[in-house]
Copies of this chain bind each other. A is one copy, B any other.
Amino acid sequence: MRAFFDDRQSRHDPQTFLVAGILQPSPEQPERAARLKRGAEAAGCTFEAPSDHGMAPLAAVHGADYLRFLETIHTRWARLPGAGPEVVPNVHPANRSDSYPASPAGLAGYHQADTACPIGAETWGSAYWSAQTAVSAAQALARAPGEGLVYALCRPPGHHAFADLAGGFCFLNNAAIAAEVLRSEGRRVAILDVDVHHGNGTQGIFYARGDVLTVSVHADPAGFYPFYWGHAHERGEGAGRGANLNLPLARGADDAAFLKALERGLATVRAFGADVLVVALGLDAHESDPLQGMAVTTPGFTRIGAALAAAGLPMLLVQEGGYLSDALEHNLTAALEGVQGG
């Protein structure tokens, strides 16, 4: 099974994570990439480095102001008197229609939804190569014969990034970027997100569009990040009405509950007539994940993988969350064995 990863994706090393009023270490550690790589290799993946496709595939999803922000803000921030080592927002607009700001502090709050996406000196480079990994993997899938299967080890992850807003460890929406590559190759794309968190950025990017289906299985946002998105009533708007499906589950949901929701999601993918599936593959629904949202087991991930494979579609697996625990790499191995019918 082909897989993509670039070592530069490991350089981003976020320190800040303000939660419940307390500064804590970020769970999105560089070590994740090494463990995920081992887990994928154990399932038979052979890694290749992505090509550099430049800014065009990123600009197909993200606004020019936002890309400029991600690329330049750390340098501007570092010149502020007394600034900390990472760009962390501390003030936010009420609405996107409020005036676009000029200063680093204003830009940070406009383009960073939360304190879980600090921008350090290496962030742009890692996010850029994470996105290039998604693009190369999507192109490899588009050119594969039959029911192709490709794994993109995207780190940092992407599904909380909107067109012009970072959040929740995410900067560039790798799954959305991959979906746009596949769409430009003439494919009808569905994105199915199995991360424990709602794929709010992905939903937002395609919310008013009917040409890409977005489905997400996740912990109920009534009590879990991202709080403002991921409810069942969010079905899309305008031309996108009906092309977004949220399947929130109670905190602590087990394999059976997860698989039941996944079957509903896959039925919607079939009804949409997708001819390719992008899976936003978070592993943080696991019972030992530090974020403690659900209780999916390691064998449960094999069953999730098998259910995805049963859709019979070419499939691009884009890595999302899943945080450091003894099970992390085994959960990826389990999921990738499942999709490969093993």
- Bitwise interface map of A from 194 to 237 toward B, beta carbon under 8 Å scored 1, else 0: 00000000001000000000000000011111111101011000
A113 contacts which chain B residues (CB < 8 A)?
A: 91-94
The CA-CA distance from A235 to B191 in the complex, in Å, is: 43
Q: Which one of A20-28, A144-152, A301-309 contacts B?
A: A20-28
CB of A167 closer than 8 Å to a CB of B? yes
| Residue pair A95, B92 in contact (C-beta under 8 Å) | no
Interface size on A, residues (CB 8 A): 54
| Residue pair B101, A228 in contact (C-beta under 8 Å) | yes
| Residue pair B20, A227 in contact (C-beta under 8 Å) | no
Q: A91-B225, A109-B228 are in contact. List 12 more A-B contacts (CB 8 A).
A: A16-B21, A19-B105, A20-B77, A21-B90, A92-B114, A93-B113, A94-B96, A94-B165, A95-B95, A101-B227, A109-B114, A110-B228
CB of A66 closer than 8 Å to a CB of B? no
The CA-CA distance from A162 to B105 in the complex, in Å, is: 20
CB of A85 closer than 8 Å to a CB of B? yes
Q: How far is the CB of A198 from chain B (nearest CB, A)?
A: 11
| Residue pair A83, B21 in contact (C-beta under 8 Å) | yes
A222 contacts which chain B residues (CB < 8 A)?
A: 101-103
The CA-CA distance from A165 to B80 in the complex, in Å, is: 28
| Residue pair A94, B204 in contact (C-beta under 8 Å) | yes
CB of A99 closer than 8 Å to a CB of B? yes
| Residue pair B114, A91 in contact (C-beta under 8 Å) | yes
Q: Which residue of B lies closest to A19 (CB)?
A: B90
CB of A173 closer than 8 Å to a CB of B? no
The CA-CA distance from A20 to B31 in the complex, in Å, is: 27
Q: A95-B96, A99-B234 are in contact. Are A87 and B225 (CB under 8 A)?
A: no
CB of A86 closer than 8 Å to a CB of B? yes
Within 8 A of B (CB), among A279-335: none
Cβ contacts A to B, 9 pairs, < 8 Å: A18-B18, A20-B82, A21-B87, A21-B118, A91-B225, A94-B113, A94-B165, A101-B222, A106-B227
CB of A88 closer than 8 Å to a CB of B? yes
A225 contacts which chain B residues (CB < 8 A)?
A: 91, 105
Q: How far is the CB of A176 from chain B (nearest CB, A)?
A: 16
| Residue pair B228, A99 in contact (C-beta under 8 Å) | yes
CB of A115 closer than 8 Å to a CB of B? yes
CB of A84 closer than 8 Å to a CB of B? yes
Q: How far is the CB of A203 from chain B (nearest CB, A)?
A: 11
Q: Which residue of B lies closest to A97 (CB)?
A: B95
The CA-CA distance from A234 to B233 in the complex, in Å, is: 34
Within 8 A of B (CB), among A153-170: 162, 165, 167-168
CB of A116 closer than 8 Å to a CB of B? yes
Q: Which residue of B lies closest to A81 (CB)?
A: B20
